[in-house]
Structure 1
């Protein structure tokens, strides 16, 4: 997926989880943060960031904060981008079969999953939940960066999908490259990691890939080892 009108800036501060102050072309601007996670290790004063200038004059903020540089890594922090990038990858690579049609935002039980693959010829359905991962420590990708009861619910619903005979997968897209492996963040939310193990035992397919990140694009990259 690609962005338009990308501009380099310097991060100043984050008054709340929705907005950030960024120095752009010598002027301080208020930008929308497209990620409600903590991102404390990323959004530090002086960090090099990239923003997208929006074309809607009615918006309260004229920019969206898209990516940030952490050391040598460029990390996309747009929480909406993984769904789009993964959908593009699934349409292109067809890892579950060429005959399956991709549908977005499909409900099952009490959850709305990001993607459903279905066959027009059979009753085959595969529900896929996409999680974007922006937390990295010593080359290890970790999710979540804050407790996520919603994430636990999604995993339990995916397990229920399998019990009822449907396909189910969790796709973790690490929004950066050069990752050694991925692990649930037990320190932050142990329950998520334990439920992830249970989902795998129920037959939920666990998938993790890194990303090719540029200031104006995010593309699914290489498979990443998952260590539970």
Structure 2
């Protein structure tokens, strides 16, 4: 996926979760933040960010904040981007893909994709990952009851004879793996381990990121015992 008319800027402040103040060559811009998460480790004063011009003259904000530099990492932080690149990646994830339908309800959840491939019926839930610590990426960056609920309902899909997949799209490259965030949300970590043990396919992929684009690169190791792996590395 690509963005149009991207310009750099310097992050100044975030008055609320929807708005950021960014200094650009044209002056101070009030921008829409395309990620309502905390992003505290990303949106720090002085960080270099990238803005995409919306092209919608009816909007109050001219630009969307879509990416940020964190040290040597360039991180896409557009919360809509993971589903877009996941749709592009789906033929590789599910060989023999014949049907892909977004936003499909099962039980009390609405999953990101329903797919049919090689005679199998799949529900796929996509999670974007922007949190990095020490070369590992983590999800979530804040407690998410909804995230754990989705994982448990993917287990319900398995019981009903469907195939199910939780796909974590890491919106950066240059990292060594993915792990659930045991410290911030132990309930989500527990649900992820239960899902894997119940037959839900767990996949994590990193992305090739530029200020103007995002595309899935390759699979990452998933570490389901975070503290142990930290000690070993």
Tell me whether the two structures share a fold, i.e. TM-score over 0.5.
yes
For residues 197-208 of structure 1, the aligned pairs below 5 Å read 197-208=193-204
Inter-partner Cα distance in structure 1 for 2:63 and 2:97: 40
Secondary structure, in 3 states, of the residue corresponding to 1:64?
Answer: strand
For residues 137-216 of structure 1, the aligned pairs below 5 Å read 137-216=133-212
Other-structure match for 1:84: 84
Other-structure match for 1:40: 40
Inter-partner Cα distance in structure 1 for 2:153 and 2:89: 24
Other-structure match for 1:68: 68
Unaligned runs of 5+ in 2: 225-233
Inter-partner Cα distance in structure 1 for 2:97 and 2:50: 38
Contact in 1 for aligned 2:97/2:115 (Cα 8 Å): no
Could you tell me how far 1:99 is from its partner in structure 2? 4.2
Moved more, 55-64 or 205-214: 55-64
Inter-partner Cα distance in structure 2 for 1:66 and 1:210: 17
Query: RMSD value over aligned CA atoms?
Result: 1.2
Could you tell me how far 1:54 is from its partner in structure 2? 1.2
Query: Alignment partner for residue 127 of structure 1, among 115, 120, 123?
Result: 123
Inter-partner Cα distance in structure 1 for 2:113 and 2:217: 19
Alignment CA distance shift 1:99-1:138 (3 Å):
closer
Could you tell me how far 1:97 is from its partner in structure 2? 2.8
Other-structure match for 1:110: 108
The size of the alignment, in residue pairs, is: 224
Inter-partner Cα distance in structure 2 for 1:106 and 1:90: 16
Inter-partner Cα distance in structure 1 for 2:12 and 2:125: 33
Q: Which whole-Å deviations, capped at 9, do the CAs of 1:157-181 have from their partners, x for residues lacking one?
A: 1010001110100000110001111
2:4 matches 1:4? yes
Normalising by structure 1, what TM-score? 0.95
Secondary structure, in 3 states, of the residue corresponding to 1:176?
Answer: coil
Inter-partner Cα distance in structure 1 for 2:201 and 2:20: 36
Other-structure match for 2:227: none
Q: Which whole-Å deviations, capped at 9, do the CAs of 1:156-207 have from their partners, x for residues lacking one?
A: 1101000111010000011000111111001100000000011111100000
What stretches of structure 1 move > 2 A for 4+ residues in a row?
A: none
